[in-house]
Amino acid sequence: MPNLILASTSPRRLEILRRAGLEDLRVVPPEVEENIRPNASPEEAAAYWSREKALSVMSDGDDVIVGADTVVWHDRRILGKPVGADEAREMLRQLSGDWHKVYTGVTVLHNGQTRTEVEITRVLMRPLTEAQIDAYVRTGEPMDKAGAYGIQDRGALLVERVEGDFYNVMGLPLYRLSRMLEQAGLYLLGD
């Protein structure tokens, strides 16, 4: 069975894979500088950065490398990770009481083949007061997350409804990834 390498610095992606039973994997921080590409669609941006992250990690032999990138799309605009508390507050104000989409690009590299797919999930954020936004920003949770919230912790209190893959909103669409890994000979549930 091939070894799995996660090209990521995200503790959430590692947590998702461990919850799925993948204890034996290596985590290698990707060597890329993430910037939102002008005029890129959310699908293009998520796919591009997931591919760049995976390609930046070198491996030997039969390793399977997984790269992923998540962006939030709202009001015809990509919301990446906020730079500072003021930008986090502004993103949360924009998302408050409205639907947005979460796009995660996933790239799997194996034996010289590159496969990239994008998962899309719709999320409805509850209407938020300024006091709620301030309280959430003070937790520090928004600072390393696309769209300035994380659904897996206190940010779950901000979300009214999810249509699609919950794990996609966390940053790694597990069902889609499991199908892609099976094509590379790595079975999460056995073959």
DSSP 31: -
> Which residue in 60, 62, 69, 134 is the catalytic one?
69
DSSP structural state of residue 145: S
Task: Give the CA count within 13 Å in the CB-facing half-sphere of 105.
Answer: 22
DSSP string, 78-127: EE---SSHHHHHHHHHHHTTSEEEEEEEEEEEETTEEEEEEEEEEEEEPP
- Residue 69 a catalytic site member: yes
Cα 125 from Cα 31, distance rounded (Å): 33
Q: Are 186 and 62 in contact (CB under 8 A)?
A: no
With a CB cutoff of 8 Å and minimum separation 6, the contacts of 153 are 141
The CA-CA-CA angle for residues 81, 40, 126, to 5°, reads: 45
Which of the residues are catalytic?
A: 69
